[in-house]
Amino acid sequence: MNVQVKLFGTLRMSIPDYDPSKGIWVAVSEGATAGDLIASLDLPHGKSSIAVVNNRVVGADARLKENDEIYIIQRALGG
């Protein structure tokens, strides 16, 4: 199944030729979770990212569905 992913912050630089207005379409297996998706993209600081699925903040264990729109937002880090 396919989901649309939009990256925010410096995560955008992780995907060559990334177009923020379109995002990217990613094929994931049935039963995949937000955490599975983030891990598959191999993003820097991916484990500390926040996933928003269809405008709702979700945990890493949230199951994805066909055509979901996922925003991946890098947490603010520092001290």
CATH of the domain at 7: 3.10.20.30
> Is 28 within the bounds of a domain?
yes
Long-range contacts of 50-56 (CB under 8 A, 24+ apart): 50/74, 50/75
> Is 52 within the bounds of a domain?
yes
pLDDT digits (tens, 9 = 90+) for 16-35: 999 999 999 999 999 999 99
> Is 67 within the bounds of a domain?
yes
The pLDDT of residue 78: 66
Backbone φ and ψ for 28, nearest 5 degrees, come out as -130, 160
The pLDDT of residue 76: 76
Torsion from C-alpha of 28, 76, 58, 4, nearest 10 degrees: -30
> Is 79 within the bounds of a domain?
no
How many domains are there within the chain?
1
Residue 30 belongs to what domain range? Answer: 2-74
> Is 11 within the bounds of a domain?
yes
* pTM (predicted TM-score): 0.88
